[in-house]
Amino acid sequence: MRETVYLSLGSNIGDRQGHLREALERLNGLARVTAVSPFYETEPVEFTEQEWFVNCAAAIETVQTPEWLMSALLELERQMGRVRFEKKGPRTIDLDILLFGERVVNTPGLTIPHPGMATRRFVLAPLAEIAPEARHPVLKKTIRQLLAELPAGQPIIRLP
């Protein structure tokens, strides 16, 4: 069965926008990309002593399992030069599964919906551009509602 999956993409090393565009092109080899948000420049959170990110959200359609897709995304990150030196550290590309249809997955290697998405403006703002009415299957709220409930802060800039 074909399912809609929402992804978050980010980069803060080198040609950040170029890395996002390359990742989106490569995603077409894994699934059908159906929507891409505008790009946003975003301040890093948690580990803040690094360059700002460029982030976007993408919708894809796939017949694969969540585990298969996560494995493929990790391989795509590796092929694009991502090296995991430190948790939340700088990266050429970061690919996260936010929502996978209505599924809830909680295994040692994968959590869907993404556990931090509801508190991150850099995730919700781009996602709201392409899927404002998508519903978080655990919180039972739309992306638009989650974004509206965020406190002020987490500066982000929509890029032209």
Picking from 6, 160, 25, 19, the residue whose alpha carbon sits closest to that of residue 90 is 19
Which are the catalytic amino acids?
Answer: 82, 91, 94, 96
20 DSSP β-pair partners: none
Strands 53-62 and 40-42 come out as antiparallel
For residues 153 and 119, give the distance between their C-alpha atoms in angstroms, rounded to a whole number. Answer: 11
**How many other β-carbons are positioned within 10 Å of the β-carbon of residue 22?**
17
158 DSSP β-pair partners: 40
For residues 123 and 126, give the distance between their C-alpha atoms in angstroms, rounded to a whole number. Answer: 6
CA angle 71, 75, 81 (to 5 degrees): 150
Picking from 72, 15, 60, 75, the residue whose alpha carbon sits closest to that of residue 39 is 15
The structure tokens 């998405």 sit at 117
